[in-house]
Amino acid sequence: MIDFQKSGGLVPAIAQDHQTGEVLMMAWMNQEAFDETRRTGKAVYFSRSRNKLWRKGEESGHVQTVKGIFVDCDADTVLLKVDQIGGAACHEGYKSCFFRELAGEELKVVAERVFDPKAVYEK
Amino acid sequence: MIDFQKSGGLVPAIAQDHQTGEVLMMAWMNQEAFDETRRTGKAVYFSRSRNKLWRKGEESGHVQTVKGIFVDCDADTVLLKVDQIGGAACHEGYKSCFFRELAGEELKVVAERVFDPKAVYEK
């Protein structure tokens, strides 16, 4: 159903707000993460830096409830439509990880923080 | 500005309709593709299968006019907000490459074709 072999076991997975269409983040999935996402209805990714399953929200409580799973034409990218609990997907406290826009030679922050990362991750 | 080294020179680039928010496709960019996208205002990717720059729309005419470039928190993924000329990003003739939704064990086509691929690519 998904071609996990093409990219060495991992495929990109995009999470999008199912209501507003805002792109929240991009992460990676292996077969196990994909299967657990389908089974539980909550987004599970594979963390390349920690080299293990990443149950989104396991630390912050900001889980993503999956409303729909879409697959692209080449079957090597996944798009999740989600309900982002807590209102923010980004560990830096923004709704979307794409909170910076290129303006000339600068990256400009174009969103407001939903939460203070220190308060969420260092409790 | 973008961390191209982290993933061996290529970063994922998501194209989103700048008006509707629909996610159109996911492709890859190297430094050269990113620079040319910025310089020309039209989306340029790097094709892994053809191992060269892919000027989106060079064959079909379905170019993507870039309305904004966003960068994620880790600076290793790009989000383009685009105006999709011709109304379809997917080479299979659909507006979005994510035209199939997972329904049980099946991938179900949930969109309508905007164009006939044969008419566009075999003229």
Q: What is the pLDDT of residues A14-37, one digit of tens each?
A: 999 999 999 999 999 999 999 999
Chain B CB within 8 Å of residue A111 CB: no
For A11-90, CATH number out of 3.40.1260.10, 3.30.70.600, 3.10.20.810, 3.40.630.30 equals: 3.10.20.810
Average pLDDT, chain A: 95
pTM of the predicted protein model: 0.96
pLDDT(B123) > 60: no
Contacts with B, A 27-86, CB within 8 Å: 38, 68-75, 77, 79
Asked whether the beta carbons of residue A69 and residue B101 sit closer than 8 angstroms, the reply is yes
pLDDT of residue A123: 56
Cβ-nearest to A97 among B20, B73, B100: B73
Closest CB to A100: pick one of B38, B70, B101: B70
Could A72 and B26 be called an inter-chain contact, meaning their C-beta atoms sit closer than 8 Å?
Answer: yes
B93 touches B116 (CB < 8 A): yes
A67 vs B33: CA distance, rounded Å: 33
CATH number of B11-121: 3.10.20.810
Q: Could you tell me the residue ranges of all domains in chain A? A: 11-90
Angle ∠(A11,A17,A23) on CA atoms, nearest 5: 55
- Local structure of A39: helix, strand or coil: helix
For residue B1, what pLDDT is reported? 87
